[in-house]
Chains A and B, each alone.
Chain A
Amino acid sequence: MFKKTSNTGKWMVHFGNFTTRDLAFIGMIVALMFIIEMVIMLGVAAITPFPGAKSIGQAFFISIIIAVGLAKVTKVGTFTIIGIIMGVVAGLIMPAFLPLLPAAILGGLAADTVTKIFYGRYGSRNSLVVACGVNQMVETLLILTIMVVFGFSTEIINPIMILITAILATVLGAAGGLIGSKIATELQSAGAIGN
């Protein structure tokens, strides 16, 4: 349970590989994600009847935050933790829409799996871009598919529309990941994020 960290040489508590500092930072990142998501949801989703608008609207901004979080906590599994916490908050507390819970968890899990297979860990620019893109794609696909299962009009959401929305969200998510990695580089050069 207790291990010495390689960076500072201090004794830290570990959850698997995650220190208390990592878990606290992930918690703060999710809090910031939640604030941004709520602003976008009230601003975008309330004025458009197209359910994919929220996914497209949030993909870029949320991915910036996630990318900075992943650049600090580079361990595989971080995205799943972000997904679980964000899913619990969004699915059970606010806006309390239950399908967001499995969508957020599976999105994080998919991003972690892809990163584990291709990059081993987060940190490089490409790993952040790919992870953010994959997460947004899986989340958008799941949310819109659930909407169809619940009987939403196929004239507004049809499979082609779902695919186009998912591709748009993926591109915006990847772009957000790229910007996030640049912010992380700047924070690293300023000494705010240690390697």
Chain B
Amino acid sequence: MNMENAFSYNTSYVGEDSPVHRMDPRIKLGLVLGTTLLSVFLQNVAWLVTLVVMLLALSAISGTLKKMTKFLGLFFLFAVLTVAIMTLLTRNFIYSLEYFSPFFLRFGVMVTAGMLFAFTTSPNHLSQALQKMYFPAPLSFTLTVTLRYIPTLANEAETIFNALRLRGVYPSNWDVIRKPSYLYRGMIIPLFIRILKLSDEIAIAAESRAFNGGNGRSSLKNIKIGRNDLFFSLTMIMFCFVLMVMDKGTFSLI
């Protein structure tokens, strides 16, 4: 397995050009927060399903639905396993399904909204949006370092593991439990020494380029809330309001 590919942004951000991709990250963040909060208030399963379908429709528009299916599959497996265990405990499948469906739908809303945000927002845009939301600049720098070095560190770990194997060390799970020094001396210590070297290099490189903690940093492309963003926000607010009214009112389906 190629660790670098497994942890690259390709697993998360899908760089396409769609109306959802072009939307301001702050609006999308509002959508994630709003739908998550709304899912807690909604009691009726039908309206929770409507909310999930709306989010899936947005992911279809953004062209990220196919990629999202892989992760939603894992979530679905988790749901199936939970219902199966509950059925074994209670010996009543319908009861288990009814009992768990509101939870998994709420969870589904959160996961789908979160992935919609992650798959359609580049780390650069997220960093810019956080700065616009008064996220301290030095923390923004730390976040950028984290996002940049996730695939690199995964690659480093793989290299260290391969070096161990080249020396004829093939530790099985039992070996690691019996002799943790395989993992500790062979893997963790070299990785930490590499991390220390890398972080020193980053700091020296940043300071030699007159890095001042990131305060007052300008950007070639600035993000700003446009007319389309406002229109989308208003539509979403109205949609959520209608769902709330339907849930509390006499329009209940189930």
Chain B residue nearest to A80 in the complex (CB):
B139
> When A94-B12, A153-B100 are in contact, do A27 and B89 touch as well, CB less than 8 Å?
no
Query: Which of these, A14, A35, A81, A93, contacts B153 with CB under 8 Å?
Result: A35
Interface size range of chain A in the complex: 35 or more
A160: Cβ under 8 A from any B Cβ: no
Whole-angstrom distance between the Cβ of B212 and the nearest chain A Cβ: 6
Query: Given the complex of chains A and B, what is the CA–CA distance between A98 and B200 in angstroms?
Result: 32
Main secondary structure on A side of the interface with B: helix
Q: How many residues belonging to B are interface residues under a CB distance threshold of 8 Å?
A: 70
Whole-angstrom distance between the Cβ of A6 and the nearest chain B Cβ: 16
Chain A residue nearest to B114 in the complex (CB):
A96
Q: Which residues of A come within 8 Å of B, CB atoms?
A: 1, 12-15, 18-21, 23-32, 34-35, 38, 42, 45-49, 64, 68, 72, 81, 84-85, 88-89, 91-99, 147, 149-153, 155-156, 179, 183, 186-187, 190, 192-193
Chain A residue nearest to B9 in the complex (CB):
A93
- The answer to whether A92 and B86 touch across the interface, beta carbons within 8 angstroms, is no
Chain B residues with Cβ below 8 Å from A26 are 142
The tally of CB-CB contacts under 8 A between chains A and B is 179
Interface-lining segment among B101-109, B162-170, B231-239, B243-251: B101-109
Q: Among residues 111 to 126 in chain B, which have CB atoms less than 8 Å away from a CB atom of chain A?
A: 111, 113-115, 117-118, 123, 126
Instruction: Give 10 A-B contacts (CB < 8 Å), ordered by A residue.
Output: A28-B199, A34-B146, A35-B7, A35-B157, A49-B81, A91-B114, A95-B114, A97-B114, A150-B103, A186-B189
- The answer to whether B147 and A93 touch across the interface, beta carbons within 8 angstroms, is yes
Chain B residues with Cβ below 8 Å from A28 are 145-146, 149, 153, 195, 198-199, 202
- The answer to whether A15 and B40 touch across the interface, beta carbons within 8 angstroms, is no
